[in-house]
Amino acid sequence: METHPDIVDMRARHETAERATSTPQGQAVGTLAFLTGIYLAASPWITGFNGLPTLAVNNLLVGLAYALLMSGGFGRAYERTHGMAWGACALGAWTIIAPWVVAGDVSTTKTITNNVITGAVALLLALAASAAARAAESSRMHRGAVATRSSWTHS
């Protein structure tokens, strides 16, 4: 049972995810992404635009969703949650355009500066997590192809 191809593949994926998340770069991306989400959720009260309830609620919900998505998904297994990276990218992009899109006139200097910078950071961190997932997956697939070729030559 230990040598069943599905079990070997699952074990290799798990080990790849462990290597990707245990690197200093992987841990830094995860930590910074979580902190970015928490900051976005609290930003209306930190920067002082909590008098704009639509954007305040938007930032609270998007920030919490981003923090949970990045820490809950990528922190445990990058490659199995590669699709989540695109959701996190979308949340970062939404954060950038939210001051102009949400109901009401909420585009003030504070809201625009806060959301554009925070959204750009969130987007870049999600792209970094996605790149780490692709690198880990391609590395795993390359090692699997090499192992398969070497088993062909030794047979």
pTM of structure = 0.72
Give the confidence band of 7 by pLDDT, cuts at 50, 70, 90.
Answer: low
Confidence of residue 65 (pLDDT cuts 50, 70, 90): very high
Q: Which residue, among 74, 81, 123, has the nearest Cα to 98 in the 3D structure?
A: 123
* C-alpha–C-alpha distance, residues 111 and 44, integer Å: 8
Looking at the predicted structure, is the pLDDT value of residue 35 above 90? yes
| pLDDT of 90 strictly over 60 | yes
> Which residues make Cβ contacts (< 8 Å) with residue 27, sequence separation at least 6?
21
